[in-house]
Structure 1
Amino acid sequence: MGAWADEFAAAAQHPNVYSNVSRLYTVAAADTWNADDLKPYIDYALGPFGAGCVG
């Protein structure tokens, strides 16, 4: 996942930072994406932030 993942994990180290995954579709092909395309990003977000901080 590259630099995005590194920066995402760094942000998660701050207790006042939360993640909103509602715009993740922007990482997928605009007119052909499906839920399977976004799953790796959602799964990754749950790691550093945990389920309670991802909306």
Structure 2
Amino acid sequence: MLFDPDTVAAGSTFEAPRTLPVGIPHVLIDGRFVIEDGRRTDMLAGRSVRRTPCAD
């Protein structure tokens, strides 16, 4: 991951938790743009990571 820490900031708040952060114009997952030029794409890449039960 490459970014400039001087330009990155969280955009979300408790009132607007889905607001994207600023300063990260492009995000690739599995080689596909999911954020391009600061905007979400329709691409659904990667897989969700689910919690597995602990072995007793």
Identify the TM-score tier after normalising by the shorter chain: under 0.3
Q: Which has the higher contact order (CA 8 A, sep 6+)?
A: 1
Which structure has the bigger radius of gyration?
2
TM (norm. structure 1) is 0.21
TM-score (norm 2): 0.21
Higher strand share: 2
